[in-house]
Each structure stands twice: as structure tokens, then as C-alpha cells.
């Protein structure tokens, strides 16, 4: 018998957690966070309590209550077992967007995670430039006897348990126990996205992951559709984030429009885009080259480019962090010593202004700070995230500067408030007028209605389950055998 239980990702955009069970093999496809579920109960200042996180999330139906699934330190501390063997053979990750991967840090350390090398590096970037624990579970709630013979709490990462991360190669089949997995790259808005075809004893299952045809890797998505058609799929789990949307421009159009705006910009061109969308970074990088400017990125992006550049498989796909058209912006550190008298403080103090992962960039030949940007405004495209708008106070954009917003438009009130705030900053610096909009140039990572219709009609699956959507009526129009499943519901092959 083969069955799929949907612990998230149905009647919802994101939060994918699909448990496939076949002949005793158990695999999760993705283990993501649902923004809508979390948003029902939590906000910035109200979240699951660290000391009781599993139980808090079980209570609210956000995480499935499955023994042996969660990390031992949490399970033991929260009274949910922890000594048992796990029955889960693997987690197969489509990509490193949080709605597909954010709950991985809760998982048992010995459950192997299968993912692309790109996904692994993006998770490594999350861990090393922040406080996430994708690749290593730093054990919490540990006590030890100190040298006075007292029982003490172990601080920080005294015991760090590395997870087993198995990177697969695009197109190359592999087995997890009784299930054969075929990972196929698809076009989406982060590197390394893979759709899957699972071959089980009772039939085959396709999972589109998130996909589109209007990015830089259209042919990958087309190839996935062809592979599905040849695989005689029993069921296709098909995304439908934007099934109700009309067709849009392409990533190449984005690149061109950015170039046009920057060409007409007298002073500083400022931009905001999703930090991990390296195809979008590439669009701005190409626009910078087209207009004889340099693209100024932040240290988190520099770190990600460094990780990609260090990989034999990925080097050259994206600019290296020392590329001649890339500059790395050194923001003010914790004491803001970057422009203070170094004879008073010392070079050592300056380094201590930054986290250890940031320090090396201070010595890069292409490092710049606000003084360089302020002086030579017409030579740069300056990346400024929504979370670092204060940098504009240092950079002081002159008259004739522009802002290009290359992010998704707000789709809830929280995002509207955030966007309004960004607008206030731009008005403050005279970059836009109150009644005049900025340049919004963006394409989604998800296919529009026509594209998803094409996927539905050309994959030739015997049945179809809509995932990652709240509009399943479109799939029903396009396929005669659509099954709808509720959260925690099961579909048998």
C-alpha cells in the first residue's frame, strides 16, 4: 500500500509537509511553515515558547504529532519521548524557501535531509549568518556539573549535533529504501529548486514543487513536464499559487526595465529585492553592467555568493563576491566604529564591531562603506533591504536618485503597513513624492493560470491533487480527476 498524508500545503499557500508511506518506507516531502497557520495565532511578539515549542505547536495544529519525528533534546524536555527510534526514513526538500523548509530545525537529528547543493548552501547561509539550526542541532536544555561540583546549565552550542544532509544531483535517480526518487530541476525564484517523481511499488507520484516558465530556467520546467508525461503518473501534486493570475513579464523583461530606469537615473539607483533570489540579483548585476555601474550588495548576499563560489559545481553560475562589478557594503557595526578614529579604538576593536562571519569582508578589495556611496552616487546600484533602511541616513541619496522595488506586492495588511513605512523613507529622502509611486518591477516565482494549465494538461497524470493554493477550482476545470484533500487528510494510491 502507498499513501500520502498532507500535514500542510493543502487549501493553503505553503506549509508543505507531505508524508509518503510505501511498503514500510516513510518520507516527508518538505517540512515547511505555513504563514497563514502561524498568523492565525502568532505575531512578531507572540510565538511558540522555546521551552514548550513542540507542545505549543501541537496544540494549535501547526506541527503534526508524530513520535520519533522531532529532535531529541526538545522531545525529552517537553515530555514527548525522545528515546525511541525514528520511523521516518528521510525528508526530501524541494527548495529552501521557508514555507517548504522552516520547520526542519525541529526535526530529529538522525533523519537524513535530501536536497540540492544549492538548498544546502542556502540553509548554511541561514545558519551561519543568523541563529537558525538547519544543518546543525545545537542541543538545548542540557545540564552539566561545573568545576565547583554544581549542576549548571550548558550555554549556547556546547553540544552541536550535525544533521545528515545528502545532496542529490539533478536528474539522477536514487533510492530511499523501497522508494525510487527522481529529482528534476524546475524554474522558480531561488536557486536549486527540484520537483520530484517518486516511483513506489504501487505507482508513481509527481510533486511540482513551486514552478514557473517565465524565469531564467524555463527549459527545466518544460523538461519536468515531459518526464512526468513519460512516467505514467498515478497522481500529480500540482501547485496553484497564482492559478487566477494573468500572464506577466519575464525575468529578462525585469532585467531590461531595470537597465532603462538606471540609465535615466542621475544619481544613486537604490533597489530592494528578495535576498536569496540570485536570479534577481543577476538581473540587477546585468543592469549594473549595462549602465556602467557596480552593484552594491550587503554582507549576507556576499556570504551566499562566497558559498556558491566555493562549490566546484556551482562556481560561475552567479557572480563571485569579488567580481569587478560587485561591491560589498560594510554597514555600521555594533559600535559604529567604521568612521571613528582608529588610533583611539584600534583595528581589533573595529573587527569586533562585526560578527565573525562578517569580518573577512572588511578586508575584501571591493568593500565599500557609506562614504564611497555618498561620494560617487552615479556609479552604483545600491541594494537596500526593507530591514536596513537606516543605511540611507548615512548614504544621503542626492536629488535625482531613484528607488526600484523588485519584491512582491503586499497581499495582507501587515505587508501594506511595512510597504507604507518604506514609502515614508523614500519620501523623506525626496526619492519619490507622496502621491507618486516608485518603480515596482517584479515577476513572481509562480506560474500564472496559463502556465499551470499547461502543466496540468501535459503531465498526463491519472489523478491530481492541488497543493500550495487556495483556488482549486481551476485545477478542476483543467483535469477531470481532481481529488481534494484536507489538512492531515490521506490519499491512497
Smallest gap from Cβ 102 to Zn ion, in A, equals 11
- CA dist 215 and 445 (Å) reads 8
* Cell of residue 134, nine digits: 538547519
- CA dist 450 and 242 (Å) reads 10
Site stretch for Zn ion (CB under 5 A), options 148-156, 172-180, 206-214, 302-310: 206-214
Is residue 26 close enough to count as binding Zn ion by CB under 5 A?
no
Main-chain phi, psi angles of 381, to 5 degrees: -110, 120
Instruction: Quote the crossing angle between the two packed helices 117-129 and 299-309, to the nearest 10°.
Output: 140
- CA dist 295 and 8 (Å) reads 39
Site stretch for Zn ion (CB under 5 A), options 92-100, 127-135, 332-340, 372-380: 92-100
Q: How many CA atoms lie within 13 A of 296 on its CB side?
A: 27
CB closer to Zn ion, 273 vs 438: 273
Coil vs helix vs strand at 367:
strand
Which of 12, 21, 210, 448 is the binder for Zn ion (CB under 5 A)?
210
Smallest gap from Cβ 474 to Zn ion, in A, equals 19
Alpha helices in 264-336 (DSSP H): 278-290, 299-309
With beta carbons less than 8 A apart as the criterion, state whether 467 and 196 touch.
Answer: no
Coil vs helix vs strand at 123:
helix
Is residue 468 close enough to count as binding Zn ion by CB under 5 A?
no
Smallest gap from Cβ 239 to Zn ion, in A, equals 9
Smallest gap from Cβ 279 to Zn ion, in A, equals 13
Smallest gap from Cβ 115 to Zn ion, in A, equals 13
Site stretch for Zn ion (CB under 5 A), options 96-104, 122-130, 237-245, 342-350: 96-104
Number of residues that bind Zn ion (CB under 5 A): 2
Site stretch for Zn ion (CB under 5 A), options 93-101, 357-365, 410-418, 449-457: 93-101
CB closer to Zn ion, 97 vs 214: 97
Site stretch for Zn ion (CB under 5 A), options 131-139, 204-212, 215-223, 404-412: 204-212
With beta carbons less than 8 A apart as the criterion, state whether 251 and 443 touch.
Answer: yes
Instruction: Map the footprint of Zn ion across residues 153-192, applying CB under 5 A.
Output: none
Instruction: Map the footprint of Zn ion across residues 357-376, applying CB under 5 A.
Output: none
The alpha carbon of residue 357 and the mean position of all alpha carbons in its chain are separated, in whole angstroms, by 20
Smallest gap from Cβ 210 to Zn ion, in A, equals 4
Smallest gap from Cβ 290 to Zn ion, in A, equals 28
Smallest gap from Cβ 192 to Zn ion, in A, equals 11
Coil vs helix vs strand at 415:
helix
CB closer to Zn ion, 95 vs 475: 95
CB closer to Zn ion, 97 vs 491: 97
Interacting residues of 281 by C-beta distance below 8 A, sequence separation 6+? 273, 295, 297, 301, 318, 319
Is residue 97 close enough to count as binding Zn ion by CB under 5 A?
yes
CB closer to Zn ion, 7 vs 72: 7
Smallest gap from Cβ 209 to Zn ion, in A, equals 7
Instruction: Quote the crossing angle between the two packed helices 278-290 and 299-309, to the nearest 10°.
Output: 100
Site stretch for Zn ion (CB under 5 A), options 170-178, 209-217, 301-309, 386-394: 209-217
Is residue 276 close enough to count as binding Zn ion by CB under 5 A?
no
Site stretch for Zn ion (CB under 5 A), options 97-105, 330-338, 349-357, 461-469: 97-105
- CA dist 119 and 104 (Å) reads 12
Minimal CA–CA distance to 92: which of 3, 165, 35?
Answer: 165
The owner of cell 552615479 is: 378
Binding site for Zn ion (CB under 5 A): 97, 210
Amino acid at each position: 500500500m502507498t499513501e500520502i498524508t498532507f500535514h500542510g500545503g493543502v487549501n493553503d499557500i505553503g506549509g508543505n509537509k507531505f508524508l509518503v508511506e510505501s511498503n514500510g518506507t516513510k518520507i516527508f516531502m518538505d517540512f515547511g511553515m505555513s504563514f497563514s497557520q502561524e498568523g492565525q495565532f502568532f505575531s512578531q511578539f507572540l510565538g511558540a515558547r522555546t521551552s514548550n515549542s513542540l507542545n505549543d505547536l501541537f496544540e494549535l495544529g501547526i506541527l503534526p504529532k508524530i513520535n520519533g519525528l522531532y529532535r531529541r533534546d526538545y522531545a525529552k524536555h517537553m515530555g514527548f519521548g525522545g528515546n525511541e527510534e525514528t520511523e521516518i526514513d528521510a525528508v526530501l526538500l524541494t527548495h529552501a524557501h521557508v514555507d517548504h523548509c522552516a520547520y526542519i530545525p525541529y526535526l530529529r537529528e538522525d533523519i537524513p535531509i535530501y536536497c540540492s547543493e544549492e538548498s544546502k548552501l542556502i540553509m548554511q547561509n541561514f545558519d551561519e549568518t543568523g541563529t537558525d539550526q538547519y544543518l546543525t542541532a545545537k542541543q538545548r536544555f542540557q545540564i552539566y556539573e561545573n568545576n565547583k561540583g554544581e549542576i549548571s546549565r550548558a550555554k549556547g552550542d556546547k553540544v552541536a549535533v550535525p544533521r545528515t544532509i545528502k545532496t542529490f544531483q539533478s536528474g539522477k535517480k536514487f533510492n530511499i529504501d523501497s522508494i525510487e526518487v527522481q529529482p528534476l530541476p524546475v524554474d522558480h525564484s531561488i536557486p536549486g529548486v527540484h520537483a520530484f517523481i517518486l516511483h513506489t511499488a504501487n505507482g508513481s507520484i509527481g510533486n511540482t514543487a513551486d514552478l514557473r516558465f517565465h524565469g531564467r530556467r524555463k527549459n527545466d520546467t518544460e523538461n519536468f513536464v515531459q518526464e512526468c508525461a513519460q512516467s505514467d503518473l498515478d497522481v500529480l501534486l500540482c501547485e496553484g499559487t497564482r492559478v487566477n493570475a494573468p500572464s506577466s513579464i519575464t525575468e529578462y523583461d525585469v532585467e531590461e526595465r531595470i537597465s532603462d530606469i538606471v540609465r535615466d537615473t542621475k544619481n544613486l539607483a537604490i533597489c530592494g529585492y528578495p535576498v536569496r533570489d540570485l536570479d534577481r540579483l543577476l538581473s540587477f548585476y546585468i543592469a549594473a553592467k549595462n549602465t556602467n555601474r557596480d552593484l552594491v550588495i550587503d554582507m549576507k548576499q556576499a556570504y551566499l555568493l562566497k558559498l556558491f563560489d566555493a562549490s566546484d559545481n556551482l562556481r560561475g553560475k552567479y557572480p563571485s563576491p569579488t567580481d569587478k562589478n560587485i561591491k560589498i557594503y560594510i554597514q555600521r557595526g555594533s559600535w559604529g566604529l567604521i568612521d571613528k578614529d582608529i588610533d583611539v579604538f584600534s583595528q581589533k576593536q573595529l573587527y569586533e564591531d562585526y560578527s565573525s562571519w562578517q569580518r573577512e569582508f572588511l578586508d575584501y578589495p571591493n568593500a565599500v562603506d557609506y562614504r564611497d556611496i555618498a561620494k560617487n552616487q552615479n556609479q552604483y546600484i545600491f541594494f537596500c533591504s526593507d530591514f536596513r533602511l537606516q543605511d540611507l541616513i548615512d548614504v544621503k541619496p542626492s536629488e535625482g536618485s531613484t528607488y526600484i522595488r523588485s519584491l512582491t506586492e503586499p497581499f495582507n495588511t501587515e505587508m501594506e503597513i511595512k510597504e507604507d513605512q518604506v514609502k515614508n523613507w523614500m519620501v523623506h529622502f525626496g526619492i519619490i513624492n507622496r502621491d507618486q509611486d516608485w518603480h515596482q518591477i517584479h515577476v513572481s516565482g509562480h506560474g500564472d493560470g496559463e502556465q499551470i494549465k499547461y502543466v496540468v494538461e501535459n503531465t498526463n497524470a491519472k489523478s491530481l491533487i492541488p497543493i500550495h493554493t487556495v483556488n482549486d477550482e481551476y485545477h478542476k476545470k483543467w483535469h477531470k480527476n481532481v481529488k481534494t484533500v484536507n489538512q492531515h487528510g490521506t490519499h491512497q494510491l
